[in-house]
Amino acid sequence: MEDEYLIFDRLNKTIIDDKGVAETTIREETVQNSYALFAVFDGHGSPDYSYHAKKNIQAILENDIEFQNGNYVQALFNAFGQENFQLKQDLFDPKMEKLVTNSVEKGSVLEPENTKQRQQLEADLAWKVGGGTTATVVLLVDGNQLLVANAGDSRAVLAQKDGQSKVKSIRISKDHHPDDEKETRRVRSAGGTIQGGRVRGEGHSINMTRALGDFEFKAPLNQSNADFISWVPTITEVELTPSNPFMVLASDGLWTAFEDQAVVDFVFNCLNGGMSAEEISQQLVKASTRPKYSDNTTTIVVIFLWNQTTACSGTARVQKIDVI
């Protein structure tokens, strides 16, 4: 299991267990002049990358002058860039970068007669260099301002009341996959190759187009001036209203198993049935890790407990800032 999660709740009580299930509730009247932070990191290649991001992203964010000045979009952008830099400083072996560069320049791994050498080198590189993590970071500030920064395919979905007895799903993050037209253009314009729904690199391939780490897909190791797998996040700003009862943040294991709408319907019905967010999270994880689904899952359910005197009306306003 290479998933990691982070919950920093200065606002209210948080319940977290040690099995990748977390619950938190946010009360409107307590959130002024404070913030809450939720994040999911789904690592691949090595568990070190997701763990590193979990341990460092909050401190990087808090120490950023833009965060301190309330410029949260820029602060989140900076935090992703700084964490990607720190991952390379702390986990990447510079000897491997030199090895890959020399091998490609000499053509030793590209000639057909050296197939065995190439396979051995690729396996070596995949083990020693290959590693990265998705990052979906959700910041709640000023009572109803939600900012979502993500790279990869861990997803955040917001519930919006649709009448008295229904909710609809609003996806507030972006999945970065090779089947996205803009992502395909970006990867190919950088000199990358996409085959079979995966970005191909020297050693192995990956089924997403943005992530922290994965330095064999980033300049200069990828023999390009631009990254194939970009660290740059999509940032979404959401103005919450009392019509938003909850949010679900999870790694792709949940979203591969269930559609967004099915998840919010399930959570809504469970809440109406008296279940706690923790119990709902456990049920979601259990359902998505059945034998028919092969991926691990981490799920965070966040319930927004609005002041009961506030009418449940209005629609969440969502603005996405997608930096290519």
- Specify if 318 maps to a domain: yes
Measured from the Cβ of residue 165, the count of other Cβ atoms closer than 10 Å reads: 9
Question: 122 and 202 in contact (C-beta within 8 Å)?
Answer: yes
Report the pLDDT value the prediction gives residue 254, as an integer from 0 to 100: 93
CB-based contacts of 310, cutoff 8 Å, min separation 6: 28, 242
Q: How far is CA 225 from CA 125, 176, 202, 309, in A?
A: 21, 21, 16, 56
- Specify if 110 maps to a domain: no
Report the pLDDT value the prediction gives residue 18, as an integer from 0 to 100: 41
Phi-psi category of residue 213: left, alpha or beta, with phi > 0 → left and psi -120 to 50 → alpha: left
Q: How far is CA 134 from CA 62, 130, 222, 291, 292, in A?
A: 20, 14, 19, 24, 23
**Distance separating alpha carbons of residues 163 and 20, to the nearest angstrom:** 33
Report the pLDDT value the prediction gives residue 233, as an integer from 0 to 100: 97
Q: Which of 203, 204, 175, 200 is nearest to 190 (CA)?
A: 200
Report the pLDDT value the prediction gives residue 235, as an integer from 0 to 100: 97
Could you tell me the CATH number of the domain that includes residue 73? 3.60.40.10
- Specify if 7 maps to a domain: yes
Report the pLDDT value the prediction gives residue 94, as an integer from 0 to 100: 61
Report the pLDDT value the prediction gives residue 88, as an integer from 0 to 100: 93
Report the pLDDT value the prediction gives residue 118, as an integer from 0 to 100: 57
Q: Which residue has the tokens 């965070």?
A: 300
Give how many domains the chain has, as a whole number.
1
Q: Which of 298, 275, 121, 137 is nearest to 201 (CA)?
A: 121
pTM over 0.95: no
- Specify if 226 maps to a domain: no
- Specify if 109 maps to a domain: no
**Distance separating alpha carbons of residues 184 and 37, to the nearest angstrom:** 31
Measured from the Cβ of residue 273, the count of other Cβ atoms closer than 10 Å reads: 9
Report the pLDDT value the prediction gives residue 105, as an integer from 0 to 100: 47
Q: Write out pLDDT tens, residues 132-147.
A: 999 999 999 987 899 9
- Specify if 33 maps to a domain: yes
- In the chain, DSSP finds a helix count (H) and a strand count (E) of 9, 17
Measured from the Cβ of residue 56, the count of other Cβ atoms closer than 10 Å reads: 16
- Specify if 155 maps to a domain: yes
Measured from the Cβ of residue 291, the count of other Cβ atoms closer than 10 Å reads: 5
- Specify if 199 maps to a domain: no
Parts of the chain with a pLDDT under 50: 13-20, 22-23, 27-33, 104-113, 126-127, 308-316
Residue 239, domain extent:
3-89+131-178+232-322
Backbone angles phi, psi at 269, to 5 degrees: -65, -40
